[in-house]
Amino acid sequence: PMLLISGCPNQLAGSIPHCEFSSMQDVATHLGETLRQLADDYHLVVRPHPNYLEFGDFLRPWGVVSTQVPTSHLVPLCDLFVAFASATIRWAAACGIPTINYDIFHYGYNDFANVKGVRTVCASSDFVSLVGTMKPDSDTYQEARSLSQSDAAYWSVMDGQCIDRIEGVIDAACC
């Protein structure tokens, strides 16, 4: 199984509501140490944000493999997704992938509050606790997977006809 981390840009360089960490290196250390408990159960992979590729290097000491394969190509392949209040969460929802939405910068977005397979945490201690329950054979993971899959159809139609539908809308709008 693969645990995919969708890396975030360096939000600490700007104004944010709150973060328990003073540097992105500290964020990566926290993530690496927390996710290490799942290293025997998942392949740990990070797709760093295009504006902050060094985040992948920060996670390397914990055995996290960094890639520049587009996130949209990786999400359907993963078994557990970790993102940081990111729009990429909608891709995981569409694919029925259990997701941890770690609002590490405390933006408080509620975009995914009603998505059945998305668990949102803000505090580092809550992240540590949740990660500890997400081994592939755990009841918590299996429940999250079942809920994710039951909700996926709301987020997307995966029938291979998306391009045809988009072209149809464009053609109708142009005529």
Tell me the whole-structure pTM to 2 decimals: 0.93
Burial class (CB in 10 A: 0-12, 13-18, 19+), 139: exposed
User: What are the backbone angles phi and psi of residue 132, rounded to the nearest 5°?
Assistant: -60, -20
Task: Give the C-alpha separation, 172 to 168, whole Å.
Answer: 6
Q: How far apart, in Å, do the first and last CA atoms of the chain sit? A: 47
Q: What is the pLDDT of residue 175?
A: 77
Q: Which residues pair with 119 in a beta bridge?
A: 100
Of 152, 24, 23, 16, the closest CA to residue 81 belongs to: 152
Q: What is the pLDDT of residue 44?
A: 98
**Tens-digit pLDDT string for the chain (175 aa):** 999 999 999 999 999 999 999 999 999 999 999 999 999 999 999 999 999 999 999 999 999 999 999 999 999 999 999 999 999 999 999 999 999 999 999 999 999 999 999 999 999 999 999 999 999 999 999 999 999 999 999 998 888 898 898 899 999 999 7
b/e code 95-131 from CB counts within 10 Å (16+ = b): bbbbbbbbbbbeeeeeebeebbbbbbbbebeebeebb
Of 31, 38, 85, 23, the closest CA to residue 61 belongs to: 31
User: What are the backbone angles phi and psi of residue 166, rounded to the nearest 5°?
Assistant: -65, -45
Q: What is the pLDDT of residue 4?
A: 98
Radius of gyration, CA atoms only, the chain = 17
Task: Give the C-alpha separation, 36 to 13, whole Å.
Answer: 27
